Amino acid sequence: MSPTAGRQKLSRRERNEEVRRSLFKAAGDIVGERGYEEASISRITERAGVALGTFYNHFASRQELLDQLLPTIGEEMIEFIRQRTLDVRPERERELARFRAFFEFLVENPGFLRILNEAEFSAPDAYRQHIENVSLPYHRILRRARAAGEIRSFTDAELEAVVHILIGARSYLSQRYSYAKDGARLPDEAMFDAYAKLLIGGLFEETQP
């Protein structure tokens, strides 16, 4: 029997989507391993296992692909975190679960941090889109928590700043604690405990006047 017997034949649209996913995966792997400068079209198509000319059936240029790369992987990260925190309540525990899930995503996608960090200079439009994709729903989450009485009465402007503080903490802490020569790993529990104490209890003791 032929090895393809019994397999459902893909439609043209499905084949195109499969090739597009392969190109994204190849580009993400190369940028994660070697950086944006090394992600040439020839390297991407070779890694994806498609003909060089096929690339232009999906993207007008190398930069067009790179401008879509971080937002695409970023949406995967957002969904990864969402799935792991759907049933976690109250909101403070859900935030701690979101924080941990981000580091779990890095273990499964060790090239993500390089894709993110280099995008600020190599794909600035992608970087801005990614930050917006992450921060806007995060802001909505915190506003809902405020309305439910689960967090303090920050103003909307203050909550926006809090969102970027939390996003920045993830980025810096992942560079400090997640990466070693052999790839990404989950940080020690001390880092998660420190984040929880700072988030829930604050840093400084109140002083008497």
pLDDT, tens digit, 9 for 90 and up, residues 76-128? 999 999 999 999 999 999 999 999 999 999 999 999 999 999 999 999 999 99
Report the alpha-carbon angle 92-96-97, nearest 5.
115
pTM: 0.91
Here the tokens at position 101 are 């899930």
Domains defined along the chain, listed by start: 11-59 (1.10.10.60), 62-201 (1.10.357.10)
DSSP string over 121-159 = HHSHHHHHHHHHHHHHHHHHHHHHHHHTTSS----HHHH
Provide CB contacts within 8 A for 11, sequence distance 6+.
Answer: none
